[in-house]
Structure 1
Amino acid sequence: MRQALTWNPVGRQKRGRPKNTLRWEIEADMERMNNNLKELERIAWDRVGWRILLSGLCSFTRSNRQNINHHENHENNEGFMIKRSVDRAMTLTALIFIVVTFLGMLILAWYISR
């Protein structure tokens, strides 16, 4: 399933060095979370784990969306809000990685069954 990360698109690319690529962000997030590719693939294959992960992510972002503006001025000096936004970005990047991996598995299964 690493095909999604190592895919080399054909065609012309924009000039200059990209700010960030999906692969770089995912590898950095995996390093920060101390997870590897196999662990995230295992979560993607497990239906119950997948649902728990999605429900946790959805409730996490929904509940914190309302509280961010209220607490931003009070806790910004301590770095609490910065840490929370970094954690949310890592979680969303992990979710994107899992979705891309899961879609790759579905496409591969469909292609094999043809």
Structure 2
Amino acid sequence: MSRRPILRLAVLTALAGGALLAPATAAVADDPTPAASAPTTGTDSAVAERKAEADKATKAKEEAAAAARKAEDAKQLPRGGVDAGEATAGGSDSGSAALVGSAAGVLLLAGAGTFVVRRRAAGRTHA
């Protein structure tokens, strides 16, 4: 068997595997939103002061949001079992099902590719 079909098969298998694994990378991420980095310009004391001010502002915003949420929650009645305090059905939402499904798809494609290559190689030796 020449190298060209083998190389083509390897590239196609790698592309198909990548296409299956790409959506699973989002399931592995801790937080899908990017976080802002801390300011690093200026002296250490200036950076520390700016960080302290930013922390105070963030804390004040969180407290205001929490107070608003409490006031809003007091107005609403619970809808459904989870709102009423019932435990959720699933344990954790780690996205492991997406990873397992992607891995199974890659293995399936690899097995199919191996089967096709062997069948073609066997067909050429007898013909």
TM-score bucket (shorter structure): 0.3 to 0.5
Rg comparison, structure with higher value: 2
User: Comparing both structures, which one devotes a greater share of its residues to helix?
Assistant: 1
TM-score by length of 2: 0.34
TM-score by length of 1: 0.37
